[in-house]
Amino acid sequence: MIKGISAAPGVVIGIALTITEEELVIPKFISTFDLEEARLGQAIQSAKLELNSLRAKTLETLGDDKAQIFDAHMMILEDPELLKQTLTKIKKESVNAEYALNAVANQFIAVFEGLEDAYLKERASDVRDVTSRLLCTLLKKKKISLENLSEPVILITRDLTPSQTASMDRKNVLGFLTDIGGKTSHTAIMARTLEIPAIVGLGNFSATVKDGDRIAFDGETGEVKINPTSEQIEFFTSRHNAFLEKKKEQDLMIGLESKTLDGFHIELAGNIGTPRDLDALHRNDAEAVGLYRTEFLFMDRNSMPSEDEQYHAYSEVIKGLKGKNCIIRTLDIGGDKKLSYLDIGEEANPFLGYRAIRICLREPELFKTQLRALLRASIHGPLSIMFPMISSLEEILAVKTIWNEVKAELNEKLVPFALDIQLGIMIEIPSAAIISDILADHVDFFSIGTNDLTQYTCAVDRMNEKIEYLYNPYNPGLLRLIHMTIKNARAKNKMVGICGSMAHQKDLVPLFVGMGVSELSMSAMHILSTRKIIRKLVKSDCEKLVIEFLKLGTADEVKKLLN
């Protein structure tokens, strides 16, 4: 049995489809101009049809922001210079279309790759993608597309980007397994949001699997078996049945209160990345949105979403919640989330670099546009706004100055907005957790981002599977920081939630309840199981558990205590 890092639960048995970008062999032969011009024209027409259908499908399932990837590809396909130079080469050298196209496209790619500007550099991969689509048609090779699979498969690959994960054919992708990535990489987070069973960080796994191999895996334990024996299939099948049974039991929690036996309510909220994720939240009876990661609206496109586009996305979520509260987080770009059109430069340590609020404070127009869109959307229902990666009081004060400027500008233009918007910060950097008693005076709420708080407290990159053993939620130092933050918020009567992946970890929930947390926010799929746990707890017992925890010095001891 091979073991990786659990990304999203679910037990799956199915056939492997390995995804490696195959090197295309480009033939060179003498041909006539008319024939090759016609072949190239047909390939372009067929690529246009493919792109149109991919765009329509993506628009329907994932919305306009994701669909725009294909607009960029269409523009390259219609680029007059690429076509002109390819035809000239065919004519001058009497060569075949694929040879000429490949040679011309490689020159374009080399030029883009040599540019300083990160946005233009990124265009190289778009040209490569479009060229490979055309070459596949000319060479009659099938291009593997994750959006359109013909049968149910388990995808095996070295890595997936968050956007590839978002655009997967959800009907036919039974699950996916990747060589790299950690539990809180955004690919893993996306798998949980989309409820696709997945394991990441499997080392060199993709090299050991062939297409058509039978694979069985358990997304919860991280265990995988290639070509399982009949006994092993029986084992995974019984796990699968147990998983379904557990889901059925969890459904009994729909409509019940998230209250401990002694009557303390813990709000169970959901994390979303796009308005479409609301369906899953409603299905799982979420009480609010505790984290709307707005950066997904900014990703996989060629330009910033306009104020109106942002206003529509935020309004859609607020309206969809029908009176339940919505915490929308301002742009958290940087780290493992990049924008092709915003040059943040090459960084040795992107997670310690130019990211989130640091970018927004340096790019006030970008920040103000988002704040205006949020303020305008606030008339549709209860809204809280949260700022990511806060490391100091100075940053909160700078944010508030901009916030007040934006409100004054809207007032002047008589644009309506709600007056009771709550402002909060993510506590995900130790320097903020340590002065949380002071920060609590300046904001309405805290939400603890344990994904980043773990990496910054324990100095362990959340993306690096080699040091995953140090990315340990039982680390007593990390848990003490969380405890301290909750205590400081409570002392000032401020709401304090947890929205990182630790929020749904079964054995930690009693500890968080004992510490006094008011809200836990998680992927939709974990809400009902967490409600089930909360309904069995007695708060005073949980408080005693915290006293016991404070005596411990090792992660193993903490783990044992919580078990």
Interface ranges with Mg ion (CB under 5 A): 428, 449, 452
- Compare residues 277 and 332 and give the one whose CB is closer to ligand PEP: 332
As a whole number of Å, the CA-based R_g of the chain is: 25
| 451 lies in the site for ligand PEP, by CB under 6 A | yes
Among 450, 475, 485, 488, binds ligand PEP (CB under 6 A): 450
Of the pair 58, 384, the CB lying nearest Mg ion is at 384
Nearest-angstrom CA–CA distance, 17 and 39: 31
Q: Cα separation of 531 and 506, whole Å?
A: 10
Does 461 engage in binding with ligand PEP (CB under 6 A)?
no
Residue 111 CB neighbours (<10 A): 13
The three-class DSSP label of residue 498 is strand
Residue 3 β-bridge partners: 223
Q: Measure Cα distances from 7 to 192, 199, 428, 455, 523 in Å.
A: 7, 5, 21, 17, 12
Active site residue 312: no
Residue-by-residue DSSP string for 148-176: --SS-EEEEES---HHHHHTS-TTTEEEE
Interface region with ligand PEP, contact rule CB under 6 A, candidates 57-65, 192-200, 209-217, 449-457 = 449-457
Residues near 109 by Cβ (< 8 Å), separated by ≥ 6? 124, 127, 128, 131
Tokens of 155: 């995808």
Q: Is 384 an interacting residue with respect to ligand PEP (CB under 6 A)?
A: no
Using CB distances below 5 to 8 A depending on partner kind, what does residue 163 bind out of ligand PEP, Mg ion, none?
none
Which CB sits closer to Mg ion, 216 or 427?
427
504 sits near ligand PEP (criterion: CB under 6 A): no
476 is an interface residue for ligand PEP by CB under 6 A: no
DSSP annotation of 255 reads T
181 contacts ligand PEP (rule: CB under 6 A): no
From 53-61, 344-352, 448-456, 467-475, span contacting ligand PEP (CB under 6 A): 448-456
The least distance separating ligand PEP from the CB of residue 233, rounded to whole angstroms, comes to 36
Of these partners, Mg ion, ligand PEP, none, which one is at the site of residue 499 (CB under 5 to 8 Å by kind)?
A: ligand PEP
Nearer to ligand PEP, 181 or 228 (CB): 181
492 class by beta-carbon count within 10 Å (0-12 exposed, 13-18 middle, 19+ buried) = middle
Nearest to ligand PEP of 300, 332 (CB atom): 332
428 binds ligand PEP (CB under 6 A): yes
Residue 277: partners with Cβ closer than 8 Å, 6 or more residues away: 193, 270, 524
Site string for ligand PEP, 295-334 (x = CB under 6 A): -------------------------------------x--
Strand partners, 519: 267, 497
Whether 333 contacts 295, CB under 8 Å: yes
Q: Which is nearer to ligand PEP, 11 or 499 (CB)?
A: 499
Catalytic-role residue among 186, 483, 504, 526: 186
269 with 519: CB under 8 angstroms?
yes
Task: Say how far apart CA 475 and CA 419 lie, in whole Å.
Answer: 41
Which of residues 184 and 488 has its CB atom nearest to ligand PEP in the complex? 184
First-to-last alpha carbon distance for the chain, in angstroms, is 25
Question: What distance lies between CA 308 and its chain's CA centroid?
Answer: 23
Choosing from 136, 326, 499, 542, which is the catalytic residue? 499
The footprint of ligand PEP on this chain (CB under 6 A) covers a number of residues equal to: 11
CB of 452 to ligand PEP, least distance (A): 3
Q: Does the annotation mark 186 as catalytic? A: yes
- Looking at the DSSP assignment, which residues form a beta bridge with residue 200? 5
Least distance in Å: CB of 50 to ligand PEP? Answer: 33
Here's the x/- map for ligand PEP, 334-373, by CB under 6 A: it reads as: ----------------------------------------
Tally: H helices and E strands in the chain? 22, 16
Chain mean position to CA 108: 31
Please state the closest distance from residue 314 (CB atom) to ligand PEP, in A.
17
CB-wise, 498 or 555, nearer to ligand PEP?
A: 498
Show the tokens assigned to 258. 């998230």
Kindly give, in sequence order, each residue whose CB lies less than 8 Å from that of residue 456, ignoring residues fewer than 6 positions away: 428, 429, 430
| Binding track, positions 270-299, relative to ligand PEP; x by CB under 6 A | ---------------------x-x------
Q: Which of residues 68-107 bind ligand PEP (CB under 6 A)?
A: none
Give the residue numbers marked as catalytic: 186, 499
Binding site for ligand PEP (CB under 6 A): 184, 291, 293, 332, 428, 449-452, 499-500
